[in-house]
Structure 1
Amino acid sequence: MSAPQEYVEVFKPTSGRFLGVVGLLVCAGVVVIALVDPGSGIGVTGVAVAVLVGALVHGSMLKPVVRATDDELELVNLFETVRLPLAAVESVVVRQVLAVRVGDKRYVSPAVGRTFRQALKKPRSTRELAMTPVPGEGLVAEEGMSYADYVEDRLREMVAGARSRRRVKIGSPEQAALAADVVRRPALVQLGLVVGAGLVAVLSLLLG
């Protein structure tokens, strides 16, 4: 893939931020108490569990974000970051999570989604799974439009624009070839914290 470009759109997370901050503060508080007061009874196991939970809370509620350049879509998730060519995207749909299909693979992001009740509702007629651009939609959020609908419209507009610039037709061999440019980068820090804290917690329980 080409060198990183400037993000032209950053889609704000739709839920979980408040609970994520509260959960992270609670975990941090447990660690601080254990360090300041060794006699608190929290011990190594408690600290390890707090770090483990904190890493999972941060990674699942605060870290996820969806960003896009003119040519690429970036999905930052709990354990990995996925970068994929916008022109390779075949479908975009937002239900309880954002789902993007490239070739025979489906990539999801919990950063943008609908509530369970909203996801059960019948989508608007222009919300079919196939990438069918709707002229005039997606430029601005219409009055009364949900944020999930706006994200769908905006991403579909960006995908259509990227396909047009690269002269790639949906379902064509050229579009299928772009699937090879998808890059998945593991979140090594997050993985290290979760695995390390989990091992410490288990060993402390077994040896305690």
Structure 2
Amino acid sequence: MTGPDEYVEVFKPTSGRFLGVVGLLVCAGVVAIGLLDRDSGIGVTSIALAVLVGVLVHGSMLKPVVRATDDELEMVNLFETVRLPLAGVETVAVRQVLAVLVGDKRYVSPAVGRTFRQALRKPRSTRELAMTPVPGEGLVAEEGMNYADFVEDRLRELAAQARSRHRVKLGSSEQAALAAQVVRRPALVQIGLTVLAGAVVVLSLLLG
């Protein structure tokens, strides 16, 4: 299991944090009142629904993160964590979500994205980039640079470095073979809570 010291880059989420915290606090408040105050009028269905919404809010707004070691890209999402070999990354694009292509499969993360308006802008190949190379640190974002642009370029740089270390050419059969090293680990706690809370809501509605 990868430790915090092994990550060479951790990309901060670009949106949804404030709303996620507010939503989670509201859901927690509903559950607390429902459990502690029997006269509140908040029944089992409402408590289960608050748990379900809270789990989904946490998983979609607060949990997602993208981070990289020297050789792997880790994407923590709502219901799973995906680990990708950086040398196997063929393309990287940040639209409304981050999308990475490895082999024939596209892996996405909502942790980094652009607003709808930003996603409609002309392709980056025709935009001026503001990247500064720093010896020993790679690329860093200059003041005023769009963070999504920085993430795109930094991930491409990390992928290129990994390919160079492992002597893997872009588009080669060796790179395609690295798709077999992709690991997808389900978020069992998140999945379990979602299924359980959803089942309680459905049963309560059917029996009520």
Q: TM-score, normalised by structure 2?
A: 0.92
1:93-125: per-residue Cα shift (whole Å, max 9, x none)?
101000000011000000000000000001221
Q: Which residue of 2 aligns with 1:169?
A: 169
Secondary structure of 1:139 counterpart: strand
1:98 corresponds in structure 2 to: 98
1:29 equivalent in structure 2: 29
**Partner residue of 1:196?**
196
How far the C-alpha of 1:36 sits from its partner, in A, is 1.4
Give the drift of 1:41. 1.2
Tell me what 1:130 maps to.
none
SS of the equivalent of 1:90 reads strand
Which residue of structure 2 lines up, in the alignment, with residue 79 of structure 1? 79
Query: Which residue of structure 1 lines up, in the alignment, with residue 2 of structure 2?
Result: 4
Return the alpha-carbon distance in structure 2 between the equivalents of residues 37 and 77 of structure 1: 35
Structure 2's unaligned 5+ residue stretches are none
TM-score normalized by the length of structure 1: 0.92
Contact 2:71 2:162 in 1 (8 A): yes
- 1:159 corresponds in structure 2 to 159
Preserved CA contact (<8 Å) 2:132 2:141: no
Counterpart-to-counterpart distance in 1, 2:2 and 2:66: 15
Per-residue CA shift, 1:140-159, capped at 9, x if unaligned? 10232100001011101000
> How well do the aligned residues superpose, as a CA RMSD in angstroms?
1.7
Q: Deviations over 1:77-98 (max 9, x none)?
A: 0000000100000000101000
3-state SS of 1:48 partner:
helix
Distance (whole Å) between structure 1 residues aligned to residue 105 and residue 53 of structure 2: 30
CA distance in structure 2 between the partners assigned to 1:101 and 1:73 by the alignment: 12
Q: Point out where structure 1 has 5 or more consecutive residues left out of the alignment.
A: 128-133
Provide the residue aligned with 2:70 in structure 1. Answer: 70
CA contact (8 A) 2:87 2:162 kept: yes
Shift of 1:207: 1.4
Residue 30 of structure 1 aligns to which amino acid in structure 2? V
Structure 1 residue identity aligned to 2:38: P
For residues 4-153 of structure 1, what are the structure 2 equivalents within 5 Å?
4=2, 6-125=6-125, 136=133, 139-153=139-153
SS at match of 1:39: coil
Q: Distance in 1 between matches of 2:39 and 2:118?
A: 48
Alignment partner of 1:28: what SS? Answer: helix
Secondary structure at the aligned position of 2:140 is classed as coil
Aligned AA (2:196): G
Runs of at least 4 residues of structure 1 off by over 6 A? none
Instruction: Please give the secondary structure, in 2, of the residue aligned with 1:145.
Output: coil
Q: Contact 2:132–2:139 (CA<8 Å) still a contact in 1?
A: no
Query: What code does the residue aligned with 1:78 have?
Result: L
